[in-house]
Every structure is written in C-alpha cells, then in structure tokens.
Chain A
Amino acid sequence: MTGYIARRLLQAAGVLWAAFTVSFLILFLLPSDPVSIMLDAASGNGYVDPAKAAELRASYGFDQGPLEQYLRMLGRALTGDLGTSISSGAKVTTLIAQSFPETLKLAALALALSLVLGAGIATASVWTRSGRLRQLLLSLPPVGVAVPTFWIGLILLQLFSFRFFLFPAVGNEGFASLVLPAVTLAIPLSAVVAQVLAESMQTAWRTQYVETALAKGASRGRVITRHVGRNAAIPALTILGVLVGNLLAGSVVVETVFSRAGFGRLIQTSVQAQDIPVVQGLVVVAALVFVLVNLAVDLAYPVLDPRITRTARTTT
C-alpha cells in the first residue's frame, strides 16, 4: 500500500515537472515577450525608449538564454516561489491563493449538481418502462454537451438576473452569486455523467444477476440501487478525473460570463498578457489538482468494488 502510494506520488511529480517544462517551452516559443506587451499597455501605444525596455527585460532575466531561464524558474518553483506577475508585479502565489478558493467553491457546487442531475437522468432512464420517455431522457446528454456554455450562461442571466432579479449577475459575494455560474457549469458536466452512467446502467440491466434478482422478486428500485447502480458507478468514477479537467476549463468561460474572480479568469487574463510566471504557476496548480483527483479515484476503486485489487491495477 505505502509502496503503491509512493510510486503514484513519484508519477505525480513527473507529471508536474512535465507540465512545467512543456508550458515553459510553449511560452518561450511564442514570438513576443511579456515586457513589450506590458509596456504597450502602460504607454497606451505611445513611444517606449528601447533602452528602458531592455533594462526592464534584464531585470526579469529575459535577456538570459532559454536554458538558464528555465533552470532559474524551475529552481525557484521547487522552493515554492513561483515568481511575480510581469503585468502587475503581484506575487504569483498570492494571485493563485486569492483566486483558487473562489473556483473551488464554484467547482464543488457544479460537480455536486452535475452528479445529482446526471445520476438522476441515468437512473430515470433505466427505471422508466416507457420507451418514449427513455429515448427522450437519453437524448438529453448530447444536447447538454452540444449547447455552448457561454450561451447557457447568458440565457440564465437574462432570465434569472435581469428579468426576475433572483440572483446577482456578477461578483463573488455570497451563495446567491454562486448559483447561476454553478448551474451553467454543471449542465455540460451532468450530460457527461448521464451519458456514461446511463450506458453502463443499461448494460448492467441486461445482465443475468439482474434477471436473477428480479426473478427472485426484488423491486426495480432495489435492483437499481443495490445491483445496477453500484456496478455502473465504476465507469462514472473513472471519468471524475476528466470532469475535474472540464471544470477548470469551463471556469474560464463561466467566470468571464458571470464576472467572477477566480482561477479561470486569471488564466484568461494572464494568457492574454503572456504573463509567463502566472501562466506557469496556473499550469502547475492545475496539473497538481488533476494528479490528486486521479490518485483519489484510483484509491477509491477497491472501496466501491472489492473485485478490483490494487495489484491488478498497477500491473496493467
């Protein structure tokens, strides 16, 4: 067990290193440099003395070779120092610490909503005896995935904020401000959950043990919760890691539409400004979240299904 976790942690470190390195390479290969972008913004398209720009570049170490810069940044990152933002001068760790909890709240609520909604649709599609209703329910997930998130967000805003004044349109203040963004973010996610869960529930429904259970007189509800649901939960759990990735990516759009400060907005603004230290910090943190969630998922498998042993998983 300990050996297994240690191996996984080592893998996680490798993933983090790769994320850091690849993001550095991509940002470094981009044709412009963040100092010019920052100076253009600060001077309102005016003239900037090239000597001063060069001086500023040197102060950030951008005049050094790529390998030197990479090693310096990596060394600093290892000590927990992700540097400072080029466009604002704020510490990257501070920026992330300010924005991450906001996105965590949003993501947690969205995830909970999507699980409830997704599981609800999947269960109902198995439960119902009406073929028409089943087809309708099964056609919902593709629709949920196909409709663009920003459009759902704008429609919700129009209805529940501008028309009926139920929820605030913008901001991070209080639970009310969380509702519309979380619903917006949850809709495509719940579609994924429903799709996967419905598929595996339908499969499980056709198995012999379900027939046996039904033949022995168990109610549909009991069969679904005790037999079908538990077996179908494994594939759904597998995609949890993917869902977390979707949550982070979706937060870019949702936080922009709902003007929420958070991780996604920070990604958007810092990529636009080519703010290398901030983008790298965000990539590393996102990779960390991803790695941790997948580790947690792996550890949860045996709990849900005793047939899955850890040794079996690590050898495959």
Chain B
Amino acid sequence: MSLLPRSSRPPRRRLTLLTVTALAGALTLSACAGGSSASSGTAGATTAAPTSAPTPGGDLRFALGASPQGVDPQQVGSNVSIYIARQLADSLTDQDPKTGEIVPWLASSWEVSPDLTQFTFHLRDDVTFSDGTALTAETVKKNFDSLTTDLAGVATLAGSYLAGYTGTTVVDEHTVTVAFAEPNAQFLQATSTVSLAIVSDATTTVPAPERLQGKVIGSGPFTLGSYTQDQGAAIVKRAGYNWASDAFDHQGEAYLDSVTFSIVPESGVRAGGLASDQFDAVGDVLPQDVPLVESGGGAILNRSNPGITFILHVNTSKAPLDDAAVRQAVQVAINRQELVDTVLSDKFLPATSVLAANTPGYKDLSDKLAFEPDKAAKILDEDGWVLAADGIREKDGQKLTFDVVYAPLFTGSQAVLELTQQQLRAVGIDLELRQQTPAEQSTTQKNGDYDTYYYNSTRAEGDILRTGFSSKFNNLNRRAADTVLDPLLESELSEPDAAKRADLLGQAQDIIVDEGYAIPIFELAQSIGVGKDVQGLGFEASSRLKFYDAWIQQ
C-alpha cells in the first residue's frame, strides 16, 4: 500500500489527540465495568443454590470461544465441540463428577470378568433414539464395530479406548459382552465418555464426514436443531427423555427448550456480550474479563480439567536434560503457587502431581513439587554446574539452557512460561520459549527437536498416564524401553482391584516426578461465565458442560 501516507503535512499531533481521547473513553468504560464487583463464583461444579424451584422453558444463548470441528460425539475432541455433541447422545455408563464413580446410564448394570477382558452390559429397555428406533444390544455392537473399522482413522480417542478390541457379542436383546485380547481396566470409565457415546443403528452406517456435519442421531436429552460449520448450532429439548443417569441432578426432560450456540472468538466480546445480556452464558472467560462478567451480576463457574496437568514433558535424550540431576533441580526451582497467583487467578490450582487432583488415581506429591530454590542450587552445584558471569550456569563450557515448545492454545500459557523463565533464571537456568502453531508442533514432535514440550491432556481416568508416559506410545520422553515405568504402566491395565490399581498409578506418578520425566506446572481449569438468571449449569466428570440440569430463572 504505497498509496497511503502521502499527505504533505505530518498529522502526528492530531493523531495523538485522537488516540488519547479514544483511549480515555475505553478506560472509562472498563473502569465502569470493573467498578462494582458482585458476588464471586465458587469453585464448585454448579451454580449457587437456586433461589426457587427450577422453571422449565426458554432458550439459553451460549457463546463459544472457538469453532467446533463438528458435532458427532464419537469423532470430536475439542471442548467446544463436546459442549454441543455431549448433549445429543448418552453413554453406557456415566461418571459422577463429585466422586469419580462409574454409575448406570444406558446400561443399568454390568459385570466385568476377573481378568478384565470381558465387559457385559445390561441395557435399559425403555431407551429410544430421536429417530424413534429403540436401543438394543445390536445397536451397541454396531457402534463398537464401526468405531474399530470405518471410523478407526478419525475417531482417535475412541480408538485408543478400544485398543485390543476383539468383538461384541449380543447375548440377548438387551445384553451385550464386549471382549478384548488383553486386560483393559480403563474400559469401564471409557464407556462413560463422549467418545464412546452410543448413536442409533442408522447413524453407524453414515459416512464419517456427514456425521461430523450433523447427520447424527443419539438418545440424549437434546437433539440437533441446526448446525452450520463456523457459524453456530442450536440444540432442542428431546420430548419424552426419561433416562438420565444418577450423575445428573434431576430426572425426566431437560429444563431448557433449546440452547443456541454462537461462535465468538474474542474473549472481551464474550464477556461484554454477557454483561450486556446478549448471551446467557459464555465459554473461556479470561482472568482479565472476570470483573466485567461479575459487574453484570454474573458469576464464573470453574472446574479443573482432570488428566495430565500442564507439564513440561522432558526430552531425556538431549543435553542438558539427559542429566537427571538437572531435571530434579528444575522440578523444585519453579514456584507454582506464584505462577497461579500472578498470571492466572485463584480459580486455577498449582500442579501437585503430574495428574490433576480430581483425576481418579491421583496421588498428592505436593511435597516433592514444593518451591525450594536453595535445594535446586545445591543439586546443580554438586552436579558441577557453576554460575557464570551472565548469571547462567555452565559445565564443561556448556550453558545450562533448554527450550520449551508450546502452542498458545490456552491463552494464559505464554505468561505462565515467561514467569517460569524468570524463576528458573533465578537459579541460573536459561529457558528459551519457542511458540509454535499446532501445525509446526506435530513436526517438532516427530523429529524430537525439543528439550521440553508443553501441553496438557484431559481424561477423568488415571490410565492417561500410560498413553502419556509409556515408551510404547508417543514417547515424548524419548526414553528407551525400561524395566520399571513401562511394566508399571502396563500392569495398571490388568489390575481389577481399584485400591491396588490406584497404588500402581501412584507409584508411576512418583517415578515420573522423581526422575523428572515431566515438570508439572498447573491444572487447566474451565472458566465459564453465566448470567445472573442462569441456574444449574454444571460440569461432567471430564469438566465439559452439561446443559441438562440448566434452567433460566424467569
């Protein structure tokens, strides 16, 4: 655009004047917004106690922070997609978000063989899909069969839950047995996830892309009203729904008539839209927008994501992090509480293990992850790393420096890593930040071109440790197959006793933290803004929203 600034006289003075005026306006507005801080949201899983009995009816307008990739429960993986897809279909079981316990849903009861290879489900006989067809044992078989054949390439989460699947046997009209070649202790929890939600017989034969675009029929409390890629979606209450699990707060039909989803990428616009009553609830509220939400009488709902916390996954094949002492020093040189307090908010929790505290199988390792800069310095001193003039340690002419590869998918990540950088520098470690797009990341990961890899992974099952840390999967550690951690992670799958299984997972967490295979940072938390009239909106066990119990105060 060489055409543009060719004015004979530089307009600097007036530009400054205009900027100042407008900026002042903006500041005034945000000051107004921040002025009256109303009741703050609690860290619980649902909104404050309703002031009256739930009133059915109404449309809830929800602003999503990103575009869903589609609406097929079995194919989607992103939070925003699951917010919609989860409402459309039910699963065999449900997971109680408070206890982590697996409770009946489409299956009223089940048996697991002692060797954990056979799972028999007794289905409810009163369930119908929204196309009128009934849920039968055959439906379940068709679902699992298609997930391991036609959908195998695209339904990756479901595929990992069904690893070793040998087939489903229809025992009678309402009984099925799902069989695996190897023990599969994680499968029962997997049946409660959205990835293994059950769709109608007809849907199992629809091509995957069409399903993703909305040609999907479930038995859920809502049906898909409309969905246009990148534009939005609407879900409508299913009349006659009467098979909610015990993990929900009520029975019968959903309270809301409908939920309308729009896609609003700007966080400030979501918060402003909520405060000016253009939305009833919004996703992904950033810490700086919380006052604006609360000023309108709204509240923030929070819940930590279960699964692997945000971690630095260490590449143990590259110097200097091939040295276990360095990894152990890094582990205690990070002040996790300060990270949360300074750049996040009190709605976030510092990591106290490699698993989030609300993950079944979590073990509290806060002692090992305490902030001990003196101990870190001592470890490094003893290991021969001496402070150089520039404040960075070195040994044999090599600087104590390593990088972290991250994608800014969660908005707070950059600030968290910048503060981590300062904290590590205080003990003489240089951390280099390498921001990449998800596209670049997959190449970096493939080539092992990283010292540490920053990410989190959500699942309300301790088994996520196995896929995350066994050397047989992505192996971000770049470890050789070992005789301690790998067998431990494998053995967890064949342990029928819950307490013993938790013990095995606990041992694995100990090893990962002690060896410094991963440096846990903080637990990702969902942050949902709700208007003052919205009640009962809550999280399921994986910290994704459920709209079934939500209602709007008239």
**For chain B residues 196-251, which have a beta carbon within 8 Å of chain A?**
208-210, 212-213, 228-232
Determine whether the beta carbon of A46 is less than 8 Å from that of B230: no
CB contacts (< 8 Å) of A139 on chain B: these are 7, 9, 11, 14-15
Chain A interface extent, by class = 35 or more
Minimum Cβ distance to chain A for residue B24 (Å): 11
Minimum CB–CB distance from A208 to chain B (whole Å) comes to 22
What residues on B are CB-neighbors of A36 within 8 Å? 439, 442-443, 446
Q: How many pairs of residues, A versus B, come closer than 8 Å at their CB atoms?
A: 212
Q: Using Cβ atoms and an 8 Å threshold, which residues of chain B touch A311?
A: none
Residues from chain B with a CB closer than 8 A to the CB of A38 are: 69
Shortest CB distance B449–A (Å): 10
Nearest-neighbour CB distance to chain B for A193, whole angstroms, equals 10
Q: Contact flags (1/0) for A35-47 with B, using CB distance below 8 Å? A: 0111111111111
Instruction: Evaluate contact between A52 and B229: CB separation under 8 angstroms.
Output: no
Residues of B with C-beta under 8 A to A95:
229-230
Check B3 against A242 for contact (C-beta < 8 Å). Answer: yes
Instruction: Tell me, rounded to whole Å, the shortest Cβ–Cβ distance linking A50 to chain B.
Output: 10
User: What's the dominant secondary structure at chain A's contact region?
Assistant: helix
Bound together, the chains give a CA A87 to CA B15 distance in angstroms of 44
Quick one: CB contact mask for A153-172 with B, threshold 8 Å, 1 for yes? 01101110111010011111
**Contact at A170–B262, with CB atoms within 8 Å?**
yes
A143 to B276, CA, bound (A): 30
The interface centre, meaning the residue of B3, B25, B160, B230 with most chain A CB atoms within 10 A of its CB, is B230
Residues on A with beta carbons closer than 8 Å to the beta carbon of B467: 46-47
Cβ-defined contact, A84 with B209, below 8 A = yes
**B75 CB, min distance to chain A CBs, angstroms:** 6
A43: B residues at CB distance < 8 A: 77, 156-157, 160
B9 touches A135 (CB 8 A): yes
Q: Specify which chain B residues have a CB less than 8 angstroms from the CB of A259 in the assembled complex.
A: 63, 262-266, 269
Which residues of B sit under 8 angstroms from A145, Cβ to Cβ?
A: 1, 4-5
Query: Do A162 and B273 touch across chains, with their CB atoms under 8 A apart?
Result: yes
Q: Is B440 an interface residue (CB 8 A)?
A: yes
Residue in B8, B29, B67, B456 whose beta carbon sits within 8 Å of that of A158 in the complex: B29
How far is B228's CA from A158's CA once the two chains are assembled, in angstroms?
28
The answer to whether A169 and B278 touch across the interface, beta carbons within 8 angstroms, is yes
Given the known interface contacts A155-B25, A155-B26, the answer about A170 and B264 at a Cβ–Cβ threshold of 8 Å is: yes
Could you say which residues of chain A place their CB within 8 Å of the CB of B228? 98, 261
A197 to B358, CA, bound (A): 64
Write the nearest CB–CB distance from A286 to chain B, whole angstroms.
17
Contact B210 A89 (CB under 8 A): yes
Q: Which residue of B lies closest to A34 (CB)?
A: B439
Whether A98 contacts B3 by the Cβ 8 Å rule is no
Judge whether A257 and B7 touch: CB under 8 Å. no
Contact segment of A4-12, A108-116, A266-274:
A266-274
Partner of B4, one of A158, A192, A256: A192
Given contacts A157-B269, A159-B25, A162-B272, contact A44 B78 (CB under 8 A): yes
Instruction: Tell me the smallest distance from the CB of A258 to a CB of chain B, in Å.
Output: 8
Whether B35 sits at the interface, judged by CB under 8 Å, is no
* CB neighbours of A31 from chain B (8 A): 439-440, 443
CA of A167 to CA of B214 in the docked complex: distance in angstroms? 31
Does B157 lie within 8 Å of A44, measured CB to CB? yes
Given the complex of chains A and B, what is the CA–CA distance between A43 and B70 in angstroms? Answer: 14
Assess whether A56 is in contact with B232, with CB atoms less than 8 Å apart. no
Cβ–Cβ < 8 Å partners of B266 in chain A? 154, 256-257, 259
Bound complex: CA A171 to CA B63 (Å) = 10
CA distance A256 to B264 in the complex (A): 8
**Residue from the list B4, B231, B443, B474 in contact with A195, Cβ < 8 A:** B4
CB pair B209–A90 under 8 Å, yes or no, is: yes
Beta-carbon nearest neighbor of B307 in chain A: A44
Nearest Cβ distance between residue A150 and chain B, in whole angstroms?
A: 8
Is A138 interfacial (CB 8 A cutoff)?
A: yes
Query: Interface 1/0s, chain B 254-269, versus A by CB < 8 A?
Result: 0000000011111011
Question: Is A99 in the interface zone, CB < 8 Å from B?
Answer: yes
A90 touches B272 (CB 8 A): no
Q: Give Cα A170–Cα B213 distance, bound, in whole angstroms.
A: 23
CB pair B230 A265 closer than 8 Å: yes
CB contact under 8 A between A88 and B11, given known A42-B75, A42-B156, A163-B29: no
Is B22's CB under 8 angstroms from A155's CB? yes
Q: Separation in Å of the A39 CB from the closest CB of chain B?
A: 6
CA separation between A269 and B231, bound complex, in Å? 12
Nearest Cβ distance between residue B295 and chain A, in whole angstroms? 11
Which of A38, A89, A161 is packed against the most chain B CB atoms within 10 Å?
Answer: A89
Cross-chain contact A56 with B229 (CB below 8 angstroms):
no
Is residue A221 within 8 Å, beta carbon to beta carbon, of the partner chain?
Answer: no
Task: Tell me the minimal C-beta distance from B345 to chain A in angstroms.
Answer: 22
A45 partner, pick from B7, B76, B230, B456, beta carbons under 8 A: B456
Quick check: is A298 within 8 A (CB to CB) of the other chain? Answer: no
Say if the beta carbon of A136 comes within 8 Å of chain B: yes
A315 contacts chain B at the CB level, 8 A cutoff:
no
Q: In the assembled complex, which residues on chain A have CB atoms less than 8 Å from the CB atom of B4?
A: 141-142, 145, 191-192, 195
B415 within 8 A of A: no
- Tell yes or no: A146 within 8 A of B by CB: yes
- Flag if B272 contacts A161 (CB, 8 Å): yes
Evaluate contact between A47 and B473: CB separation under 8 angstroms: yes
Q: In the complex, how many angstroms separate the beta carbon of B192 from the nearest chain A beta carbon?
A: 16
Q: Does A30 contact B (CB under 8 A)?
A: yes
Q: B464's closest neighbor in chain A, by CB?
A: A46
A314 at the interface (CB under 8 A from B): no
B273 and A32 contacting across the interface, CB-CB below 8 Å:
no
What's the Cα separation between A89 and B9 when bound, in Å? 54
Query: Which of B19, B75, B231 has the most C-beta atoms of chain A within 10 angstroms of its own C-beta?
Result: B231
Instruction: Evaluate contact between A47 and B474: CB separation under 8 angstroms.
Output: yes
Q: In the bound complex, do residue B230 and residue A99 qualify as a contact, i.e. CB atoms below 8 Å apart?
A: yes
The answer to whether B275 has its CB under 8 Å from any CB of chain A is: yes
A43 to B458, CA, bound (A): 10
Which chain A residue shows the least CB distance to B269? A169
Which A residues are CB-close (under 8 A) to B273? 161-162, 169-170
Cα A48 to Cα B77 with chains together (Å): 13
Interface residues in A247-281 (C-beta closer than 8 Å to B): 256-259, 261, 265-266, 269, 272-274
Contact between chains at A42 and B264 (CB < 8 Å): no
Tell me which residues across on chain B come within 8 A of A85, comparing CB atoms.
229
Specify which chain B residues have a CB less than 8 angstroms from the CB of A274 in the assembled complex: 439
B154 at the interface (CB under 8 A from A): yes
A135 shortest CB reach to chain B, Å: 6
Considering the complex, which residues of chain B in the window 270-287 have a beta carbon less than 8 Å from any beta carbon of chain A?
272-273, 275-276, 278
6 A–B pairs (Cβ distance < 8 Å), ordered by A: A37-B439, A42-B155, A88-B209, A98-B229, A192-B3, A192-B4
With A90-B213, A140-B11 given, name 15 new contacts (CB 8 A): A44-B459, A48-B160, A53-B153, A56-B153, A88-B229, A89-B209, A141-B4, A155-B25, A159-B29, A161-B278, A169-B273, A192-B4, A239-B3, A265-B230, A273-B439
A residues bordering B, Cβ < 8 Å?
30-34, 36-49, 52-53, 55-56, 59, 84-85, 87-90, 95, 98-99, 135-136, 138-143, 145-147, 154-155, 157-159, 161-163, 165, 168-172, 191-192, 195-196, 199, 239, 242, 246, 256-259, 261, 265-266, 269, 272-274
Question: Which 7 A/B pairs are nearest by Cβ-Cβ distance?
Answer: A89-B209, A139-B11, A261-B231, A36-B442, A32-B439, A43-B156, A56-B153
